[in-house]
Structure 1
Amino acid sequence: MRADLATALTPATIRRACATAGHTWRDRVLDPVATIHLFILQVLHGNTACAHLPRLTGRTFTASAYCQARSRLPLGVLQDLLARVVEAVRPLVDDPDGRWRGLRTFFIDGSRVSMPDTPPLQAAFGQPTNQALGCGFPVARVLVLFHAGTGLLLKLLTAPLRSHEVAQAGGTHDALQPGDVLVGDRAFGTFAHPAVLIPRGLHGVFRNHQNRIVDFRPRRPHAVPGSHLGHAGRPRSRWVRTLSPSDQRVDWYRPQSRPHGLTTEQYGALPRLLRIRELAYRVNRPGFRVRSVTLVTTLLDPVTYPADALAELYRAGWGVETDLGHLKTTLGMDVLTCATEPGVLKELMVFALVYNLVCVVMCEAGHRQGVSPERISFVDALRWLSSAPPGTPLPRLVINPVRPDRIEPRCQKRRAKKYPYMIRPRAELRRRVRDQQLTP
């Protein structure tokens, strides 16, 4: 598998990707092949400084020349290479051993990444509203699609901060096949998302949105959209069939107002009613904040897909937080360094490439060592990948212990420096410091 992946990043493949994107270049030290390999090496070493790369490689070039070479590189080239890498690891995704009840399973989740405070990035992504202009940093929304069995990253999409994750979700569906199962949190459990999944033959398992009322009483009354009668506190779904005391099939009514992220034409194409299964289960594990979870799913058969199996699948979906942690914390994607929007998008593509390289190493090590890939240490695989000379055989990597019910407090032990936050522009603060120094 590593050989197949290496083929997707050979000089010939990179040159073909450049030709496909219509990119031309001159023969120089930092041609597209060298630039992309340096970009990957940079992220492998914790997104180290550009000035560090000549020391790492023993080659002679300046940080400025490297930055200019990256800016000349089209974004489409990196997107094409990521697609080739995903295609190279397709056998791992299609492996029957990694399926849930015979179905391929994928996790979807959103996060945020910070970047330098520059006017182009402020205009492209925006910053949190509680930060004054000049006192914060631009933040982008990032939507990622992971394969459940291997942790491989198949899609990475970006959007401005003030946008909704479900508006981007449709952009991940082309990476799926009919029969696949998509698992996500309550942001994806709205009417519009399952309504888009079902016609494509896709399935979803999501946590119920906090604004949707669920009532498991048979033949209970419900609110009818458009009716002027008082329906406060009633569910906006029609009861169809009770499967168990906390498991039922219902028909969701299409919302009266157009959901955020859908055009008028897309909203008009949504069905008036949507058949959905709602189920609830108790969480009796010490340390868990939530005591009851309500799921919504398009998997309607309670025999083929029992409620306890769906609950376990949703719990496994929390593994996406570990995958995001590897991307943002271990690799350093939490804070990007490029100062322009094209640069940020290229940087994210390289992070996705490097993440998949590490995951392939974990999959191969797990196969050799007889454990699932998620048991292999991501940090150890990254360290070996970033330091091993070409052709070095893969050694035994660290295997993490199984700790499904590990309890850790959500707090930090190490104290931060006792400096106040910047709540005024830097120029104003500098002026105040100068005025204080001039005061006798």
Structure 2
Amino acid sequence: MVRVAAGPFAPGHLGELTQQVPFEMIDTVLAQTCCVQRRVRDLPSRVVVYLLLGGCLFAGLGYRQVWQRLVAGLEGLAVADPSEAALTKARARVGPQPLRALFDLLRGPAASMAGPVRWRGLLVCAIDGTTLFVADSAANLARFSKQRGGRTGGSSYPMVRLVTIMACGTRSVMDAVFGPITSGETTYAKDLLARLPAGVLLLADRNFAAGHLLKIVTDCQAHLLVRAKTGRGAPKLPVLHRCPDGSYRSVFGGQSVRVIDAEIRIATKTGTVTGVYRLITTLLDTDTYPATAILRLYHERWEIETAYLEITSSILGGRVLRARTPAGVDQEIHALLVTYQILRTAMTDATNSEPGVDPDRASFSIALHVARDQVVHATGVIAGTVIDLVGRIGRLVLDDLLPQRRLRVNARTVKRAISKYNARGPNIDRRTYTATISLNILAGPALTTSLDP
């Protein structure tokens, strides 16, 4: 027999994930945002919030089909059978505010006892952006634009730019902002960086190597490790002092920084590829933060790329968001971020229960599919007297951990061509190879005797 809320609140659950977002939490954000229903209907506001989160677990279904999964395990209980129109009106009535408040409540680093989440006392995070497609409606087009240009003439759907800061290791969302693609990643990054907590080491790619962004980070008592261009358009970084580890002190955006020039050589059985990296960091102490250790740490920036793959591919399956209004898009994206966050929290709880297990080894796909099953069966909705932090989701994740990450590389090629005709072009080697990586700190440019232009 399942244990759920009583009466019309019974369909309001998320299976075992309800323990990550319990009834009391949902009721609190609804009260704070003044979105509690005036009278109890077939679709109370709390139930609608769980419907929106369930819609992210079942992104390929319409909300009517999502509702059927929420009530599938409630056999014997008198539950409502709302129409598609009723579900649409209920979502509009609740609005985006409760989902925003719920995300603000849940965002932040999931606690982990393993993995490179903390490095030498600093919380390691990464910042980057991605894009999502939204429904091609008149209301959305008034707010979000389509991408122009390209051989295919641009995108078929309006697009949203999403920029997040994620904790490396657990891949939990620290903060997020989104809006039209007419604004770039660095524009959105200003708001995120201004809210950055102290004690964070932020990893970023070349797009974020800007002096004004670095100043925002340092003003928050945080640190930055960013890759910089080395060719045309590269920032001017005068050599003020050479450090014993091969890096050198410089100034960037009015801030004191260290610069690390390094040659990275990747050898596979097909040959050797060599590239030159230039990293800028506010970590000035060479004894605590040696150049070679910083170089190796920078690879963790790819954690955020994997997280975006989990959101756009594993959860959404490359699909267009359902909402046909900007308010609905706001609501749906916050629901998506909340759903991703609670899945990540459940996974981290599981890996924390096994000492020495890196959170990287937890399979997101397994957690997602098990969570879907728990919704359909309506199991684990209400916790027992003894709290099970691992739960069914965690046990199945631990039963099938991913292998330890191997050092492998793959050329950046199109895995699946958009056009079948392009797929018939020249043969491209898409295989992954075991690699050996060697690092060589370069001497850098000559010592600068004056900062005058």
> Which TM-score tier does this pair reach, normalised by the shorter chain?
0.7 to 0.9
Is structure 2 residue 402 aligned with structure 1 residue 381?
no
Q: 1:207 aligns with which of 227, 235, 256?
A: 227
What runs of 5+ residues in structure 2 fail to find an aligned partner? 1-13, 72-79, 381-390, 423-453
Distance 1:93 1:204, change over 3 A: farther
CA distance in 1, matches of 2:348, 2:84: 35
Q: 2:260 aligns with which of 234, 255, 279?
A: 279
CA distance in 1, matches of 2:277, 2:256: 20
Partner of 2:347 in structure 1?
A: 362
CA distance in 2, matches of 1:5, 1:380: 14
Count of residues in Structure 1 that have an aligned counterpart in Structure 2:
377
Partner of 1:305 in structure 2?
A: 289
Distance 1:96 1:44, change over 3 A: closer
CA distance in 2, matches of 1:380, 1:415: 28
Report the Cα offset of residue 347 of structure 1.
Answer: 0.8
Q: What do you get for the CA RMSD once the two structures are aligned?
A: 3.1
Report the Cα offset of residue 79 of structure 1.
Answer: 1.2
Between 323-332 and 278-287, report the one with greater CA deviation.
278-287
Q: Which residue identity is paired with 1:9? A: V
Is structure 2 residue 99 aligned with structure 1 residue 78?
yes
CA deviations over 1:378-425 (Å, ceiling 9, x no partner): 000111112124226442422112343223452335885569xxxxxx
Q: 1:20 aligns with which of 32, 57, 72?
A: 32
CA distance in 2, matches of 1:43, 1:352: 9
Distance 1:179 1:416, change over 3 A: same
Is structure 2 residue 392 aligned with structure 1 residue 407?
no
Q: Which residue identity is paired with 1:411? A: V
Is structure 2 residue 34 aligned with structure 1 residue 31?
no
Report the structure, 1 or 2, having the larger helix content.
1
CA distance in 2, matches of 1:33, 1:44: 17
CA deviations over 1:149-168 (Å, ceiling 9, x no partner): 31111212112112121112
Q: 2:170 aligns with which of 129, 150, 161?
A: 150
CA distance in 2, matches of 1:329, 1:317: 19
Q: 2:336 aligns with which of 325, 332, 351?
A: 351
Distance 1:94 1:213, change over 3 A: farther
Report the Cα offset of residue 352 of structure 1.
Answer: 0.8
Report the identity percentage. Answer: 22
Partner of 1:434 in structure 2?
A: none
Distance 1:97 1:243, change over 3 A: closer
Distance 1:382 1:95, change over 3 A: same
**Does the 8 A contact of 2:110 with 2:172 survive in 1?**
no
Distance 1:245 1:374, change over 3 A: closer
**Does the 8 A contact of 2:167 with 2:173 survive in 1?**
yes
Distance 1:78 1:278, change over 3 A: same
Report the Cα offset of residue 309 of structure 1.
Answer: 1.1
User: How is 1:218-233 mapped onto 2 (pairs within 5 angstroms)?
Assistant: none
CA deviations over 1:231-261 (Å, ceiling 9, x no partner): xxxx634331112585211123x5xxxxxxx
Q: 1:99 aligns with which of 118, 125, 131?
A: 118
Report the Cα offset of residue 47 of structure 1.
Answer: 4.4
Q: Which residue identity is paired with 1:412? A: K
Partner of 1:372 in structure 2?
A: 358
SS in 2 for 1:338: coil
CA deviations over 1:17-46 (Å, ceiling 9, x no partner): 122112242311212111111111121123
**Does the 8 A contact of 2:110 with 2:348 survive in 1?**
no
CA distance in 1, matches of 2:154, 2:170: 41
Report the Cα offset of residue 181 of structure 1.
Answer: 0.7
**Does the 8 A contact of 1:93 with 1:147 survive in 2?**
no
Q: Which residue identity is paired with 2:127? A: I
Partner of 1:232 in structure 2?
A: none
Higher relative contact order (CA 8 A, sep 6+): 2
Q: Which residue identity is paired with 1:340? A: T
Is structure 2 residue 87 aligned with structure 1 residue 66?
yes
Partner of 1:390 in structure 2?
A: 379
Report the Cα offset of residue 342 of structure 1.
Answer: 1.0
Q: 1:315 aligns with which of 279, 284, 299?
A: 299
Report the Cα offset of residue 177 of structure 1.
Answer: 2.4
CA distance in 2, matches of 1:405, 1:91: 26
SS in 2 for 1:92: coil
Runs of 4+ displaced beyond 6 Å: 2-5, 93-97, 131-135, 211-214, 287-290
Report the Cα offset of residue 14 of structure 1.
Answer: 1.9
SS in 2 for 1:293: strand
SS in 1 for 2:243: strand
CA distance in 1, matches of 2:89, 2:317: 21
Distance 1:27 1:133, change over 3 A: farther
CA distance in 2, matches of 1:377, 1:8: 18
CA distance in 1, matches of 2:18, 2:373: 16
Report the Cα offset of residue 207 of structure 1.
Answer: 0.6
**Does the 8 A contact of 1:239 with 1:250 survive in 2?**
yes
Partner of 1:139 in structure 2?
A: 159
**Does the 8 A contact of 2:246 with 2:291 survive in 1?**
no
Distance 1:137 1:3, change over 3 A: closer
Partner of 1:192 in structure 2?
A: 212
User: How is 1:220-299 mapped onto 2 (pairs within 5 angstroms)?
Assistant: 236-243=236-243, 246-252=246-252, 273-286=254-267, 291-299=275-283
**Does the 8 A contact of 2:146 with 2:154 survive in 1?**
no
CA distance in 1, matches of 2:243, 2:335: 47
**Does the 8 A contact of 2:58 with 2:372 survive in 1?**
yes
Q: 2:67 aligns with which of 30, 38, 54?
A: 54
CA distance in 2, matches of 1:390, 1:279: 52
CA deviations over 1:266-313 (Å, ceiling 9, x no partner): xxxxxxx32221112222224797611111111111111111111111
CA distance in 2, matches of 1:354, 1:127: 26
